[in-house]
Chains A and B, each alone.
Chain A
Amino acid sequence: MTTQHHADIGTNRPLDEYAEAEVQRLLTEDGRVAEQGLTVSRREHTLILCGDVESAQRRDEIVRLIREQFPGIDLQVDIGLTRANAPADAEELS
Chain B
Amino acid sequence: MIRIAAVGDVHIDKDVVGRYRPALEELPDKADVLLLAGDLTRHGTEDEARCVATEFGGLGVPVIAVLGNHDHQSDQPDAVTRVLTDAGITVLEGTGTVLDCGGTRLGVAGVKGFGGGFAGRCASNFGEPEMKAFVGTTERIADSLADALHALDCDVKVALTHYAPVPDTLVGEPLEIYPFLGCYQLGRAIDSAGTALALHGHAHHGTERGTTPGGVRVRNVAHPVIKQAYSVYHLLGDDADIDSPSLVHAGR
Contact = CB atoms under 8 A, between A and B. Distances in A.
B15 A37 contact: no
A88 B3 CA distance: 14
Contacts of B162: none
Dominant secondary structure of chain A at its interface with chain B: loop
Contact of B250 (A51, A58, A84, A91): A91
A83 to B, nearest CB: 5
A94 B244 contact: yes
Interface string B1-41: 00100000111100110011011001000100000000000
B250 A89 contact: yes
Contact of B245 (A31, A51, A85, A94): A94
A90 B43 contact: no
Interface residues of B, number: 47
B23 A90 contact: no
Contacts of A91: 219, 231-234, 247-250
Nearest to A34: B42
B131 interface: no
Contacts of A93: 196-197, 217, 233-236, 247
A92 interface: yes
Interface stretch (B92-100, B103-111, B163-171, B221-229): B221-229
Interface of B: 3, 9-12, 15-16, 19-20, 22-23, 26, 30, 42-43, 70, 73, 196-197, 204-205, 217, 219, 222-224, 227-236, 240, 242, 244-252
Given A54-B223, A90-B3, 10 more contacts: A34-B42, A36-B204, A37-B205, A84-B20, A85-B229, A89-B251, A90-B233, A90-B250, A92-B240, A94-B236
16 contacts: A34-B42, A34-B43, A37-B205, A51-B204, A51-B205, A51-B224, A58-B15, A82-B224, A84-B23, A84-B228, A86-B22, A87-B228, A91-B232, A92-B236, A93-B197, A94-B242
Interface of A: 31, 34, 36-37, 39, 51-52, 54-55, 57-58, 82-94
